[in-house]
Amino acid sequence: MAHAATDTHTDAAAVSDGAKKFILARKERMTQIFTEEGRAFAGTILKAGPVTVTQVKSPETDGYASVQVGFDAQKPERLSKAVRGHLKDKAFKVLKEFRVENPTNYTVGMEISVDSFAEGDKVQIAGTMKGRGFAGVVKRHGFHGGPRTHGQKHSEREPGSIGGSGGRAGGRVAKGLRMAGRMGNTRVTVKGLKVLAVDSKAGEIIISGAVPGARGSLVEIVSM
């Protein structure tokens, strides 16, 4: 468990763990960024941080090195007694751990803001993609379906054969066969995205391309 949080604040550049930087954010919306040459790039605006260090783990005490951070403040009475005892005088909706190389760079109560990132940084974004519900094989896996004519009646979006007697599966349905089922609502990590702009005053960061998840969903930003 963490010790009582302090009011320690440090420069954002000092808490980037060398080459590694991390922060939590909420997805806002998409936009366009124009370069001086007139080229347009699609980007996603994320409301990033600040996050507060709530616990520091070291190999000596925990077997590995990581930093736990809290994001999105909330009322303490909405937390369980165990979490309140852990956070002491703080209260957050989200607690997340990030592995680090040198945990001594962090102290409980330290605040990490979006200033730790800079334009041009390569990052990876992890989030939960939109849920699509129960979907067929055409939408879920991109199957082309069956013929539309020549006597066919109900096979336009059917999956086709799933096995049969003998064959490669030996008279049973092979594991991992692509079928209809629940689509989306899974954790997705997109790597190799680029930071297009950072607005420290607004606490926003613009990432190139699309970011998984719906508006308002939680995403993790980690430098590569």
In the prediction, which pLDDT does 143 show?
94
pLDDT at residue 151, rounded to an integer: 84
41 and 102 assigned to the same domain: yes
Report yes or no: 87 and 72 within 8 Å, Cβ to Cβ.
Answer: no
CATH number at residue 88: 3.30.160.810
How many structural domains are present in the chain?
2
For residue 35, the model assigns a pLDDT of 83
For CA atoms 28, 118, 127, 73, give the dihedral sign: negative
Residue 86 CB contacts under 8 Å (≥ 6 apart), including other chains: 1, 2, 54, 55
Would residue 5 count as lying in a domain?
no
Average predicted confidence (pLDDT) for the chain: 87
pLDDT at 113: 92
pTM for this structure? Answer: 0.80
User: Is residue 150, in this structure, part of any structural domain at all?
Assistant: no
The pLDDT score that the predictor gives to residue 165 is: 66
Please give the pLDDT value at position 147.
85
Asked if residue 30 and residue 104 are part of one domain, the reply reads yes
* Same structural domain, 172 and 194: no
What are the two backbone dihedrals, phi and then psi, of residue 64, each rounded to the nearest 5 degrees? -160, 165
| pLDDT of 23 | 95
Residue 156 lies in a domain: no
- Please tell me whether residues 88 and 23 are part of one structural domain: yes
Under 8 Å between Cβ of 207 and 120? no
User: Do 62 and 171 belong together in one domain?
Assistant: no
Do 41 and 119 belong together in one domain?
yes
Is residue 81 domain-resident? yes
Domain span holding position 207: 12-130+185-223
Residue 48 lies in a domain: yes
Cα 213 to chain center, whole Å? Answer: 8
- In a shared domain, residues 115 and 81: yes
- On whether both 62 and 138 belong to a single domain, the answer is no
Domain identity same for 139 and 122: no
- What residue ranges of the chain have pLDDT lower than 50? 1-17
**E-state strands within 74-223:** 92-99, 111-112, 122-128, 131-135, 181-184, 187-199, 204-208, 218-223
In a domain, 153, yes or no: no
Q: Do residues 113 and 170 both lie within one domain?
A: no
Indicate whether 116 and 189 sit together in one domain.
Answer: yes
- For 111, the token pair is 């605040």
Same domain, 66 and 39: yes
